[in-house]
Structure 1
Amino acid sequence: MNQEDLIMEFAYRLERPLQDENIEWLVGHCAKDVIFLDPFNELSGPTGYRAMLNDVRERCREFRFTWCHTQTSNDVLMGRWKMTFIPTTSNKTWVIRGMSELTFNDGLLCRHEDHWDPGSQIFVHVPWIGRLWRFVYRRLEINQG
């Protein structure tokens, strides 16, 4: 499989259910020094990448990851995405929107960085943190008047 096909297969598999076979394929295509970054985590190595995928599988019911737009250039996949799930601690469906940058080298994932705003997409929904977060947002918003 050439690099471009591998990148597209990786993107496709991120949209698939996180069953053991799919997780094994994704982790099997990680470099030994792969880095995963998001607003809460900095994980390294295939074991770190596996831990992230397993964490999503364990904490989220009805998990669905969908690419809204992707673009590839040489060894990089960049994309906008939407993730929907029901946390195991709730019965409410959550929607998270963000962007990812995945970098590959020699057919292996080297870096996966997710960019999304936990403040407006998670913290505002947490009862006591939410009030504080909404207050901060109101203080920082631009007055158009």
Structure 2
Amino acid sequence: MAATADERLEAFCAFFNKLDKSCTTELYRFYTPDVLFIDPLHRIEGARALEGYFATLYENVTACRFTFHERQISGDQAFTTWTMSLTHPRLDGGREIQVDGCSHLTFAEDGRVVRHRDYFDAGALLYERLPLLGGAIRLVKKRIDG
């Protein structure tokens, strides 16, 4: 008997909260081999490519956790809002960064995710946190905001 959408989403959120460089091979339990993953910075096709992406991404991360908020499910579609807390030695002087986002997931019949799209402010995560570029972006934002 297949898991309900609620169980699938809860299991996915629990897995994502434990994801680090030591468990990227666990992706195959939650993603189909032909998964499509999209975020503001990347478009990745296939579970093998996604495993490589996460392994590289988490290689230098000091800490990363997600606090999941609202969840909406309709058929094979699910949405969840989240706050990511990330600590990386090259971003913001190694201080913890918090970025809000939303994930849109499409589940396959076997309960795994076949499509995963994340929405978040790439500037708040990355560009504003880089030593030289960050100052320039903050200056531009101040001028726009008046």
Q: Same fold (TM over 0.5)?
A: yes
2:11 equivalent in structure 1: 9
Alignment partner of 2:141: what SS? helix
1:41 equivalent in structure 2: 42
TM-superposed deviation, 1:17: 4.2
Do the aligned partners of 2:24 and 2:51 also contact (CA within 8 Å) in 1?
yes
How many residues are paired up? 141
The aligned runs of 1:43-122 (5 Å cut-off) are 43-89=44-90, 90-106=93-109, 107-122=111-126
Alignment partner of 1:99: what SS? strand
Amino acid of the structure 2 residue aligned with 1:68? H
Alignment partner of 1:59: what SS? coil
User: Which stretches in structure 2 are left out of the alignment for 5+ residues?
Assistant: none
In 2, distance between residues paired with 1:65 and 1:113?
16
Worse-superposed segment, 101-110 or 124-133: 124-133
In 1, distance between residues paired with 2:99 and 2:51?
21
Do the aligned partners of 1:83 and 1:96 also contact (CA within 8 Å) in 2?
yes
In 2, distance between residues paired with 1:125 and 1:82?
17
Pair 1:130–1:96, CA change in 2 (3 A): same
TM-superposed deviation, 1:19: 6.0
Alignment partner of 2:94: what SS? coil
- TM-score, normalising length: structure 2: 0.81
RMSD: 2.2
Per-residue CA deviations over 1:49-95 (Å, capped at 9, x if unaligned) read 21232233212112212212222221122111111121133431111
Pair 1:62–1:29, CA change in 2 (3 A): closer
Alignment partner of 2:40: what SS? coil
In 2, distance between residues paired with 1:55 and 1:88?
15
In 1, distance between residues paired with 2:124 and 2:3?
39
- TM-score, normalising length: structure 1: 0.82
Worse-superposed segment, 79-88 or 39-48: 79-88
User: Which stretches in structure 1 are left out of the alignment for 5+ residues?
Assistant: none
In 1, distance between residues paired with 2:75 and 2:20?
27
Pair 1:119–1:91, CA change in 2 (3 A): closer
In 2, distance between residues paired with 1:101 and 1:88?
29
TM-superposed deviation, 1:35: 0.7
Alignment partner of 1:82: what SS? strand
